[in-house]
Amino acid sequence: MPCLEEIRGPEDVRALSPQQARDLAPQIRRLLVDTCTATGGHLGPNLGVVELSIALHRVFDSPRDRILWDTGHQAYVHKILTGRTEDLATLRQTDGLSGYPCRAESEHDVIENSHASTALSWADGLARAHAIRGVTDRAVVAVVGDGALTGGMAWEALNNIASAPERPVVVVLNDNGRSYAPTVGAIAEHLAVLRGPDAPQALFESLGLAYLGPVDGHDLEAVEAALRKAAGLRHPVVVHCVTEKGRGHLQAEQDETDRFHAVRAASAKKASGAASWTSVFGRELVDLAADRPDVVAITAAMLDPTGLSEFARRYPERIIDVGIAEQHAVTAAAGLALGGMHPVVALYATFLNRAFDQLLLDVALHRAPVTFVLDRAGVTGDDGPSHNGMWDLSLLNLVPGLRLAAPRDAATLRRSLREAVACHEGPTALRYPKGASVEDIPAVDAFAGIDILRSGERPDVLLVSVGAMATTCLDVAERLAAQGVGVTVVDPRWIKPVAPELIGLALDHQLVATVEDNGRVGGVGARVAQALSEVEATLPVRTFGVPQHFLNHGSRSDVLQASGLTARHLTHALLESLPSGQGRARQEATPSLALGGR
């Protein structure tokens, strides 16, 4: 039996006999289970592509042949087969292996792809480049899931790929019937028909694409034979491989809730006792919908991850899963609002980026009362640069007429959601981070919708806390108070538009500082500074946020520290910013920005 540690690259995989290649599969599955249990990661998708990944590297010559992974969390096996077995123990950890393809790691990682439905467009562009340059001796292979075919961008790409039979692209359809949850819609129904014996193959062939399959995606020799035939056709072809998500791990195979899609690290499985932000939202929406029959919920193939499972059970007629199609979700929400409903669109913050045009021109331009609930906002950490929700505040600040809230705890999340759904004049949005919610932070006072979390003895610093940064800001205030600095900590709760009362409060202080886990460009700090400039205020403003880089993966605490968003760093920076004589300067080293700037 070949030893997995002896596989240093695809050439070693190609050198194996058929039996040796088959013997490799159970070793890889054991390694995946052991690794993901320890580090956390996307277990189910990778267990399902073991034989498929081995076959790809036996048929094609990577990196000369370009293998493109759609939704790259299914590329762990690819990492193993391209010489990264020894590093797998560092998966998703600071300075360790990325949970997605990463070009800095290997020449075999072609695109850093972690949002679905895009690989076919990459493949079309790469094949066009080959044709223009006269390159004919290498293949372009795109591995896509059936879930990705629910995204419109995939069909835009197929429309172009099929139009040019002289440009060969091998589309490997990894069909396991799921994304996070069972794949929805007419495409899923058609693929189910294709899996049957003697099924008509009109869908792809009518577009001008050759079709091979369905193939048992766990029969290594059958997959190899289909891929070799596809490579020899020299024109666009779909190889339909039917696989089983979680294959080889009994718990994952039998799980219907997709708990094994992504598993948490063993060290993170101890319950904190606090409910997750996601579950707080989900329960509150269920309660709210009992009184509001016009409330409907929309998800983009992420029913459970966005907290909508209980809503779906209670109100099945009012839950809409559009598949991996955020653009459609947002414009469909505008249509629902036009028809008298109040849609609540629940997305990860990073995925709202994909539907900005629809938010701007279909929802906001029409002043549609749609509520956006953005999970995993701010620094998410171990999923890496594509998943940090550090763009949403900057993008949403551009949208006319949209009101935006950033709850600091579970209580303000519930309150903000009800206020958002009660708004009928235009769109609203609220955003919260990943993980467990913090203990409720009561306000000591409030006025004009602004919560005062701490009143300073002297009006030295106004510290504007955005959302989940409240605990850090209160820590900063305590540290500054020990240095003789008076600090008022406020939470505006609704951060767009900037309240005139917040500007009035700022004018009573010597220094204004804002703290947010969003990119510094165009965030809340920038809006506050702009509002102060418009009243010709001359007081200094410090805006603290995430550096405008693509931040490497690491724990949330590591990323925040590298971004300078710790109480220690902020205290030092504010002491340096105060006018001479205010506070006793504390000489503390400023943390480096080691995770920034790839």
Domain locations along the chain? 4-254, 277-431, 445-577
Q: Contact, 263 vs 41, CB < 8 A?
A: yes
Distance CA 456, CA 486 (A): 5
Binding-site residues for thiamine diphosphate sit at: 73, 114-116, 147-148, 176, 249, 326
Handedness of CA 449, 434, 552, 570 (dihedral sign): positive
CB–CB of 93/377 below 8 Å?
A: no
Closest alpha carbon to 10 in 90, 72, 65: 65
- Decide if 138 is catalytic: no
Distances (CA, A) of 344 to 113, 298, 318, 327, 332: 28, 6, 10, 15, 11
Distance of CA 484 to the CA centre of its chain: 42
Asked if 228 is an active-site residue, the reply is no
What does each C-alpha distance from 539 to 193, 413, 429, 490, 596 come to in angstroms?
67, 32, 30, 18, 30
Q: Which of 112, 326, 419, 516 is catalytic?
A: 326
Distance CA 271, CA 437 (A): 12
Report how far residue 236's alpha carbon sits from residue 127's, in angstroms, rounded to the nearest whole number: 10
| Pairing, β 170-175 against β 237-242 | parallel
Q: How many CA atoms lie within 13 A of 276 on its CB side?
A: 13
Helix H segments across 210-270?
A: 220-233, 250-254
> How far is C-alpha 527 from the geometric centre of its chain's CA atoms?
25
Structure token digits, residue 115:
């949002």
Backbone angles phi, psi at 414, to 5 degrees: -60, -45
- What backbone phi and psi angles, to 5 degrees, belong to 237? -150, 145
Q: For residues 573 and 578, what is the distance between their CA atoms, to the nearest angstrom?
A: 9
245 is catalytic: yes
Domains 277-431 and 445-577 share a fold: yes
**Structure-block tokens of residue 291:** 């009184």
- Residue of 301, 524, 582 lying closest to 404 (CA atoms): 524
Binding site residue list: 73, 114-116, 146-148, 176, 249, 326
Distance CA 343, CA 9 (A): 49
58, 66, 167, 245: the catalytic one is: 245
CA angle 255, 260, 261 (to 5 degrees): 115
| The pairing of beta strand 494-496 with beta strand 403-405 | antiparallel
How far is the C-alpha of 402 from the C-alpha of 424, rounded, in Å?
Answer: 11
Type of residue numbered 223: V
Catalytic residue among 354, 434, 454, 493: 354
pLDDT digits (tens), the chain, 598 positions: 668 888 999 999 999 999 999 999 999 999 999 999 998 888 989 999 999 999 999 999 999 999 999 988 899 999 999 999 989 999 988 889 998 899 999 999 999 877 899 999 999 999 999 999 999 999 999 999 999 999 999 999 999 999 999 999 999 999 988 766 678 888 888 888 888 766 766 788 888 899 998 999 999 999 999 999 999 999 999 999 999 988 877 676 666 666 667 777 766 655 557 899 999 999 999 999 999 999 999 999 999 999 999 999 999 999 999 999 999 999 999 999 999 999 999 999 999 999 999 999 999 999 999 999 999 999 887 777 878 888 999 999 999 999 999 999 999 999 999 999 999 999 999 999 999 999 999 999 999 999 999 998 899 999 999 999 999 999 999 999 999 999 999 999 999 999 999 999 999 999 999 999 999 999 999 999 999 999 999 999 999 999 998 888 888 888 899 999 999 999 999 999 997 656 554 334 333 333 343 3
Classify domain 277-431 at the CATH superfamily level.
Thiamin diphosphate (ThDP)-binding fold, Pyr/PP domains (3.40.50.970)
Annotated binding site for Mg(2+): 146, 176
For domain 4-254, say whether CATH 3.40.50.970 is its number. Answer: yes
> What whole-number distance in Å separates Cα of residue 313 and Cα of residue 321?
13
Fold of 445-577: Rossmann fold (3.40.50)
| Confidence (pTM) | 0.87
Distance CA 531, CA 226 (A): 62
